[in-house]
Amino acid sequence: MHPEPIAARRQQRQQQLGADALRFRELIARVGSGERTSTGLSRAEADEALSRMLQGQASPAQAGAFLIAHRLRRPQACELAGMADAYRRLGPTLPPNPRPTISFGVPFDGRSRTAPLLPLTALVLNAAGLAVVLQGGGAMPIKYGVSQAELFEALGLPLAQLDWRATQDLFAREGMALLHQPRHFELAEGLIPLREQIGKRPPIATLELLWSCASETQLQVSGFVHAPTEQLMANTWALLGVRNGLTVKGLEGGVDLPTSRVSIAAHWRQPATTNGEATDSEAQSERLILQARDHGLRADDVELTTLEAWSAMARAALDGNGPLLKPLIWNSGFLLWRCQQQPTLEAGLASAEALLRSGSVRERRQDLGC
């Protein structure tokens, strides 16, 4: 057989694939060609790859191949920055809020073992004058744990039922917003069936931890499990211009500090250039090793059993009682300190306890009723 027919056959098959499939095949090759030949993606190429997947310009087979190959190779900071660029461009965005804004990044697949504190912590911070942004999805692989939407619903706050315009209005008026991916970011939700079939967390799961739908934040708080992820987040934030980030080795990969053992976090600050813009150099970090017992707040981490049981404990904590009270004071006070709402950890803890015992947080929940 002569070379000409082979070349012609190859060209014919490529024409049948189409330009979109051919281009995405090139992007797969950049991350899936093995340790020696894989070059990774530039920031622009990572943006393109995720944008194509979100907009259906890659077949399910191609998108699945890309996600699992990228997981095995592990993403680089420039790649996560490019993926965040795609989310920022194609996803929903909240307008700036006059209050200092704190945004949280926690695993979208939820919690399954320990009682979550974040919705309660958000109410305390909101009662203290902060604008709070949370993000999550529905029942999602691989954990299929309880979601932020379910937890707020159990508190009588059906935030996930609001459309995006109503969410923006609530954020502008009250300083509280929950991005619920199935309702507010349908393009990203379209990748969930692929994640179910893969059965492993792809790099998008890391993106969900460090990306925020807030256009401006005073502090981005993100949970992590593995030490390399923490540095990866900080390097990505530097590229994205996030100048103030807090990484927390929280319960189940979230941002809830434990009260039964040592609490570990790091505060990453990106210095600004003379024109006020962040640089792409590595951020400076402040390592925080804390013990709740040193402040009289040592408590066992509470087990998550049912939403009904959690709701009862959560409402008791908002009234200044129950097994979640000490963990709630510990987490809220810590964040009031790191948000510079209070000058010291001790002052933050005292402020959080005062807000809870005075009924201010309970009233805040009632004011947010939607």
Domain boundary among 90, 109, 125: 90
Average pLDDT of the residues of the chain: 92
181: enclosing H helix or E strand: helix 181-184
Asked if 227 and 83 sit in the same domain, the reply is no
Are 66 and 27 spatial neighbours (Cβ–Cβ below 8 Å)? yes
pLDDT digit string (tens) for 148-157? Answer: 999 999 999 9
Categorize the per-residue pLDDT at 274 as very low, low, confident or very high, splitting at 50, 70 and 90. Answer: very low
Q: Which two tokens stand for residue 268?
A: 């990453």
pLDDT digit string (tens) for 78-129? Answer: 999 999 999 999 999 999 999 999 999 999 999 999 999 999 999 999 999 9
User: CA Rg, the chain, in Å?
Assistant: 22
**Residues sharing a CB contact under 8 Å with residue 146, sequence separation 6 or more, in sequence order:** 110, 111, 112, 116, 304, 307, 310
Q: CATH code at 253?
A: 3.40.1030.10
246: enclosing H helix or E strand: strand 244-248
The span from the CA of 149 to the CA of 160, in Å, is 5
Asked if 354 and 301 sit in the same domain, the reply is yes
Asked if 341 and 287 sit in the same domain, the reply is yes
In a domain, 288, yes or no: yes
Asked if 201 and 267 sit in the same domain, the reply is yes
pTM of the model: 0.92
Q: Domains in the chain: how many in total?
A: 2
Categorize the per-residue pLDDT at 11 as very low, low, confident or very high, splitting at 50, 70 and 90. Answer: low
| Range of the structural domain that residue 23 is part of | 10-90
pLDDT digit string (tens) for 34-84? Answer: 666 667 899 999 999 999 999 999 999 999 999 999 999 899 999 999 999
Domain boundary among 90, 115, 143: 90
In a domain, 110, yes or no: yes
In a domain, 360, yes or no: yes
Asked if 116 and 184 sit in the same domain, the reply is yes
Residue at 104: amino acid letter: F
In a domain, 1, yes or no: no
Q: Average pLDDT in the 322-332 region?
A: 98
In Å, the largest CA–CA distance within the chain is 87
Domain boundary among 27, 57, 90: 90
Asked if 309 and 343 sit in the same domain, the reply is yes
Categorize the per-residue pLDDT at 275 as very low, low, confident or very high, splitting at 50, 70 and 90. Answer: very low
Asked if 147 and 261 sit in the same domain, the reply is yes
